[in-house]
Each structure stands twice: as structure tokens, then as C-alpha cells.
Structure 1
Amino acid sequence: MAEELWPVPKFHFQVEWGDVEVGFQEVTGLEMETQFIEYRSGNDPELVTRKIPGLKKHGTITLKKGVFRDDLTFYEWFEDVQTNKERREDIIITLLDEEDEPVMVWTVSNAFPTKISGPDLKSDANEIAVETLELAHEGIVQSLS
């Protein structure tokens, strides 16, 4: 009898860059797109443009995590970029199974922060303070474990 397969849940993952592993609440923006070019040669007997692959385009990756006392990791990295220190990082995002084994790995190349947002503060809320970091990058390589 064939083994029944189930999709992998999305709530068990890890994010790391360099020697830093940070627990995140949410990761979004693992997007890759190929722009297309429309082309028609002058002697083409068909009156239609052809679509051919063009440049790759990558979305912005958004990372959200809880605020911890004495943790300035996001802010220090953002400050380094703002003061023209060339600090790009390769980010590894790994989707894990029930036994903490990698199922899918996304390697984000040459990432750097473009926007940082502190938590929304509200006096009558019963929620964790969450900060957000948006990253620009130069590509994503997706691989199996």
C-alpha cells in the first residue's frame, strides 16, 4: 500500500544569517518572477508579438519577530547600511518537519534592510510587541533539504 502524503505545515521554520539564528513569527515575500519581453521580427508572417523571458525580479522579504530586552540586531544592521557600511548578508530560511528536519530551504543572496518598523503600541492590547524588517536582495535559490 502506498504511503499517504500530507502537505507540510508552514508554522515550523528557522531563519539564520552568519552565526545568528533568530526566532521569527512570520516570513513573507519568498517570491521570484521572470519579466517578459515582447518581440516581433519585421518579417514574421504572423501578426502577433512573441513573449520571451527577460530579467528576473525578486520581491522584498518581510521578517517579523517579537521584541526582546537588549536585542538591537535589526537596528544595528539597519544602521550599518545607513552609514554606508557594505553589510549584505546571505539569509537561510528553512521549513522544518515534525522531527526538526529540513523539508525546503530558501537561500536569499546579498540581503540588506530597507525598512524597519517598531511595534504598534496600544495600552489596552493583550499582544506581544512585534518589530518588522524588510529586506532587499539579489536572488533566492530554493532547494530540497
Structure 2
Amino acid sequence: MTDAIFASSVFFRLTIAGDDFGTFHTCEGLGAQMEVEQYSEGGNNGFVWQLPSRISWSNITMTRPVTSDSGKVLTWFNDVIEEADREDGEIVALAPDLTPIVAWQVLGILPVRWQGPSFDPSQSQVAVETLEFSHEGIQAS
């Protein structure tokens, strides 16, 4: 039997082009969808060929409470606006003790949206930031 780590509280460390952006509490959108084209072969009425076509990758959205690393995200966002360079990165799922569980290489990252925190002194909520980015593919690390 294989030992498996099942984490109820997982953190996600994001690095882009070797720059550490710190840890995030949520990571959504690690996924892909394959388009399939149907081809009906003449004389074969028993089935239709299902041929792989294009693949589309979901945008990834990560959120976290505001930290000392929050400024790095906005700096990177502004740098991409000036140069529009796609960079590769990595998302690592971490156990509560920060032990790596699994890692994904994310190719050709471009920021799509950054949402800074809302500050309302009448609410006792944690100030949260959100980063959404597109990419050209994911590979297992």
C-alpha cells in the first residue's frame, strides 16, 4: 500500500520565472478541455471516429490574505504590461507544515486580473487579494 498525503489545509506556492510570489490559500482552475472532432468513415456504420483536436486550458485563480509578498504580484503585473513577456512558472501544493505534496509546471503565464483587498473598518474580515492568469499549458513536475 502506498502512503498518501491527504491535506485538509493546503497552501500553494507560486513562482514565475524563478521569482517566489509566496503562498496562496486557494488555487482554482487547474484544468483543460480537449475538443473532439467526429469523423464518419464511409461504409462503417457501427461507430464514428472521435479525433482529438484543440486543447483549451482554464485560467488559474489564486487568492490569499494580503502579505508582504503582495507587492510582488502587482510589480510583476505592471512589468508584463510594459513588455508582454510570457514566463513559465510553478505551482506547488504544500501540506500545513509546508512539505511539498505535488507540483505543476505552468507554461507561458500572462496575468489576466489582479484584485486588491477591500478595506472596510466596519467589517472584521481578512483583507484578501486575488490573482487570475492565463497560460499555455500545464505539465507535471
Q: What TM-score range do you get, normalising by the shorter chain?
A: 0.7 to 0.9
Q: How does 1:50-89 map to 2 (within 5 A)?
A: 50-68=49-67, 71-83=70-82, 85-89=83-87
Match of 2:109 among 104, 111, 121: 111
- Cα separation, 1, equivalents of 2:35 and 2:111: 24
- Cα separation, 1, equivalents of 2:119 and 2:39: 52
Moved more, 67-76 or 27-36: 67-76
Moved more, 49-58 or 95-104: 95-104
Alignment root-mean-square deviation, CA: 2.7
How far residue 10 of structure 1 moved from its aligned partner, in angstroms, is 5.1
Q: Aligned pair in 2 of structure 1 residues 19, 79: CA closer, same or farther (>3 Å)?
A: closer
**1:41-84: CA deviation from partner (whole Å, max 9, x where unpaired):** 3x23307532211111110011112224694222222222223x
Larger Rg: 1
Contact 2:11 2:25 survives alignment (8 Å)? no
- Cα separation, 1, equivalents of 2:98 and 2:62: 21
Work out whether 1:39 is the aligned partner of 2:30: no
TM-score (norm 2): 0.80
TM-score (norm 1): 0.78
Residue segments in structure 1 that go unaligned for 5+ positions in a row: none
Moved more, 88-97 or 101-110: 88-97
- Cα separation, 2, equivalents of 1:70 and 1:24: 10
- Cα separation, 2, equivalents of 1:70 and 1:32: 29
Contact 2:77 2:111 survives alignment (8 Å)? yes
Task: Tell me the matched-pair count.
Answer: 140
**1:9-64: CA deviation from partner (whole Å, max 9, x where unpaired):** 451442222132412121111112211111113x2330753221111111001111
- Cα separation, 1, equivalents of 2:123 and 2:139: 39
Q: Aligned pair in 2 of structure 1 residues 21, 58: CA closer, same or farther (>3 Å)?
A: same
Residue segments in structure 2 that go unaligned for 5+ positions in a row: none
Q: Identity of counterpart residues, as a percentage?
A: 27
Q: Aligned pair in 2 of structure 1 residues 113, 25: CA closer, same or farther (>3 Å)?
A: same
- Cα separation, 1, equivalents of 2:68 and 2:97: 30
Match of 1:121 in 2: 119
Contact 1:94 1:104 survives alignment (8 Å)? yes
